A = this chain, B = another copy of it.
Amino acid sequence: MANISQEALAPYLTEVEEALQSALAEFDEPGCLYDPVHYLFEGGGKRIRPVLTLLACECVGGNRAVALPAAVAVELLHNFTLVHDDIMDSSAKRRGRETVHVKWDTNTAILSGDVMMGMAMRLLLRSAHHAPRPLDVVDSFSTGLIDVCDGQALDMDFMQRADVTTDEYFTMIERKTARLLEMSVAIGGNVGGTTNGRVEALRMFAREIGIAFQMQDDILDLFGSEQFGKQPGGDIVEGKRTWLVIECARRVRKNSAATEEHREMIYSFFAKNGLPRETVPAVIDMMEHYGVIADAKAVVEQRTSRAHAHLNSLPETEARELMGLMAKLLMNRKS
């Protein structure tokens, strides 16, 4: 099973897509509310979270068919966060197409996002009926929703501050990025009928992968991506408080031998909420000088290996192999 191929994931993706389409077909009127929801899903997406839900269900010996509505619910919740985040971040594009608030307007995007939450809850209940602890399924979902809002609020709040710590950064990404992955597997495991102990192992796997993924994403952002048309250092230009910049600032500030140029870059980054695009190479040089990038990569490695250790505490099954493969695909993407 060590050489399990990515093709083995195809049936999962097909099932998710079909279930998603059939769920969306239940909601069409009024069009001013549901057209944006249909539009959003036509734009595609990697469907990572719903596939994790199905795999988590199988990892604990469950029949993934019963987890399918919950998998769609998880994808709806994720997409709800995208619609509202795109308003808050004034993002014009998503998956290469206009965002909902640009194609329609802000009011439509607020309301269509809101209704997706209700749609998600309704679908979730169809799986929850099969779970040994039905209300725990709903509880995981509500915690996911609360924490993803907390994480987004912290992220926005960080933009007002120059003294964010790496601990605070981890709290933020744990809630904003990792919690929905955690929720996806917790719900899958619960619907699959497992014990709380196994749900906890699945959760820890997803949490560590989520943190590793976000840090990796921050590192990749430094260097940009020709393939996806992303210029290097977007986060530096936008002033985002990533682990890299927080840790670099800490090292510069405490180092009495730090150059004036480095001190000035750090000061300006926080004072002006970002630096001009032409300074990106100098910022990367500074990060390399202080060993920040290498250390960030080490954290990614450490978190990834912790994730796999949690996964390996589960019984050896094909689903477990596929879950490991999903983690690798997530970490190896180049975008």
Contacts and interface: CB of A to CB of B under 8 A. Distances in A.
A164 to B, nearest CB: 12
A121 interface: yes
Given A106-B106, A157-B30, A121 B118 contact: no
A151 to B, nearest CB: 9
A135 B32 CA distance: 30
Contacts of A110: 84, 87-88, 110
Interface string A89-113: 0000000000000000011001101
Contacts of A125: 135, 138-139, 142
Given A30-B150, A110-B84, A111-B149, A139 B156 contact: no
B32 A146 contact: no
Contacts of A111: 84, 88, 149, 152-153, 156
Given A111-B153, A114-B149, 5 more contacts: A87-B107, A88-B107, A88-B111, A121-B142, A122-B139
A30 B146 contact: no
A48 interface: no
11 contacts: A32-B153, A87-B107, A113-B114, A115-B150, A118-B144, A121-B138, A121-B141, A121-B145, A122-B142, A122-B146, A125-B139
A119 interface: yes
A186 interface: no
A135 B137 CA distance: 10
A88 B111 CA distance: 9
A143 B122 contact: yes
A162 interface: no
A154 B138 CA distance: 29
Contacts of A115: 145-146, 149-150, 153
A230 interface: no
Interface residues of A, number: 38
A32 B88 contact: no
A319 interface: no
Report the 3 A-B pairs with minimum CB-CB distance, sorted nearest first: A118-B145, A121-B142, A33-B153
A150 B154 CA distance: 31
A110 B110 CA distance: 7
A32 B156 contact: yes
A7 to B, nearest CB: 36
A128 B118 CA distance: 17
A122 B150 CA distance: 15
A61 interface: no
A281 B155 CA distance: 52
Contacts of A157: 30, 32
A87 B110 CA distance: 9
A179 to B, nearest CB: 11
A146 B128 contact: no
A129 interface: yes
Given A33-B153, A88-B107, A106-B106, A118 B135 contact: no
A283 interface: no
Contacts of A117: 114, 117, 145
